[in-house]
Structure 1
Amino acid sequence: MKQIILASLWLLPLPLWAATQDSRQMEQVANQFLQSQHGQDGYGYQLKWQPRKPAMPACGQPLQAAWPAGNARPQQSVLLTCAAQGWSLSLPVLASELQLVLVTTRLMRAGEVLQADDIKLAPVNNRSQLSQGIRDQTLLLGQMVRSTLPPGTMLTASQVRSPFVVKMNQPVKLQIRGDGFAVNSDATALGNAAAGERVNVRVANGKVISALVEADGSVSVQLP
Structure 2
Amino acid sequence: MTPRLPRPLMRAVLAVLTLAGPAQALAEAPWVQAAGAFLEREAAGLGESVSVTLHPPNARFPACQDPRPFLPDGARPPLGRVSVGVECGGAERRTRYLQAEVEAIGRYPVTARRIATGERLSRHDLAMRRGALNRLPRQALRDPEAVVGQVARRPLAADRPFQAHQLRPPHLVDRGDRVTLEARGDGFRVTRQAEALGAGGRGERIRVRLDDRRIIEGRVIGPRRLAVDG
TM-score range relative to shorter protein: 0.3 to 0.5
Output the TM-score relative to the length of structure 1.
0.48
Which structure has more strand as a fraction of its residues? 2
The structure having more radius of gyration, on CA atoms, is 1
Which structure has more helix as a fraction of its residues? 2
